[in-house]
Amino acid sequence: MKLGGTVHQNCAARGIEMEGGRLSGVVTEAGTIKTRTAVMAGGAWASSFCNQLDVQFPLATIRQSIVRLSPVAQQLPAALISPRVAITRRPDGHYVLAISGRGRADPTPQLLRFAPQFIPMFAKRWRNVFPGGLEGIRWGHETRARWKLDAPTPMERARILDPKPDPAGVREIHRRALDLLPALREARIANTWAGYIDSTPDGVPGIGELPQVPGLILAAGFSGHGFGIGPGAGHLIADIVSGAQPIFDPKPFDPARFNASAWGKVADF
Ligand SMILES: Cc1cc2nc3c(=O)[nH]c(=O)nc-3n(C[C@H](O)[C@H](O)[C@H](O)COP(=O)(O)OP(=O)(O)OC[C@H]3O[C@@H](n4cnc5c(N)ncnc54)[C@H](O)[C@@H]3O)c2cc1C
């Protein structure tokens, strides 16, 4: 902002404008921003946004549930991460519980569209990814519908995705946490919530300029590790936008890799 940038919050980007075969502007609900370069970092919305541009970016959003427990008198480890359950103490003494990689795949038009590309991932993770319900359709982020640039889009109707937690998932998380740390039995469940993990078929994000839309850089599909790899990913995105030498080889992140094969390598995570 010191250098003249502006920040527009609560303002959906509805689409883009093209001129001479290249991006020339971003159309938002508050007007058009003229630019020759834009980054689409829309998380769980990225695939349906790309679909507006006839770009197929395979994304399955997996609904993961989280449990928060009240503090307990006994001093427990600040963090315990195991394959069965992850327990982290917050600065206020509450404990956040989760099972890494476990969640519900809510059936949506987008999930059906990309199902063949996700079969290897689902086959490998059948113990942890279960069929979900209507939450995905209710939120509308995996619609295959086309939206208009001069009318409210699904993103404006659901600005913050806040899906319902999965009751069976919550019970399982709680049970495993008590098995691991019996002292947590005296804690009460203070809160539960869920979020959508924007997953790609190989668990690796798509970062790079879209060949079909010169000037538009995609940076999405962080597949549950967006906090961890955020700093490096942000550096790479800035390098691509500014034309600098990339901080590392961007090839493995090329969003176009999904076009090559429907049966790409499935990452271990
Ligand atoms: C339950 C849960 C637990 C997780 N745990 C971990 C963890 O332990 N470690 C880890 O590394 N990662 C974790 N993650 C993953 C991490 O949260 C994501 O990888 C990361 O937030 C992705 O960042 P992002 O900026 O790509 O997308 P997001 O954080 O989803 O941000 C995208 C933003 O773009 C906005 N947007 C979308 N479309 C538009 C549009 N058209 N116009 C304007 N704005 C738009 C959205 O409203 C949103 O604010 C977890 C995720 C969940 C749901």
Taking only the tens place, the pLDDT of each residue in 163-207 is 999 999 999 999 999 999 999 999 999 999 999 999 999 999 999
Taking only the tens place, the pLDDT of each residue in 22-75 is 999 999 999 999 999 999 999 999 999 999 999 999 999 999 999 999 999 999
Number of the ligand 1 atom closest to the C-alpha atom of 219: 26
Q: What is the pTM of this model?
A: 0.94
Number of the ligand 1 atom closest to the C-alpha atom of 41: 26
Computed over every residue of the chain, the mean pLDDT equals: 95
Q: How far is CA 31 from the centre of its chain?
A: 26
Number of the ligand 1 atom closest to the C-alpha atom of 14: 41
Ligand 1: residue whose CA is nearest its atom 12: 225
Which pLDDT value is given to residue 92? 97
Would you place residue 139 in the very low, low, confident or very high pLDDT band (cuts 50, 70, 90)? very high
Ligand 1: residue whose CA is nearest its atom 1: 195
CA–centroid distance, residue 72 to ligand 1 (Å): 31
Residue pair 205/230 in contact (Cβ under 8 Å)? The answer is no
Would you place residue 260 in the very low, low, confident or very high pLDDT band (cuts 50, 70, 90)? low
pLDDT at 225 over 50: yes
Residue pair 231/248 in contact (Cβ under 8 Å)? The answer is no
In sequence order, what E strands does the chain have? 13-19, 22-28, 31-34, 38-40, 60-69, 79-81, 86-89, 95-98, 103-105, 129-131, 189-199, 206-209, 216-220
Contacts of 9 (CB under 8 A, 6+ apart): none
CA–centroid distance, residue 60 to ligand 1 (Å): 13
pLDDT at 265 over 50: no
Number of the ligand 1 atom closest to the C-alpha atom of 64: 1
Question: Best substitution site from 225, 236, 269 to test ligand 1's pocket, by max atoms within 8 Å of Cβ?
Answer: 225
Measured CA to CA, the distance from residue 248 to residue 262 in angstroms comes to 26
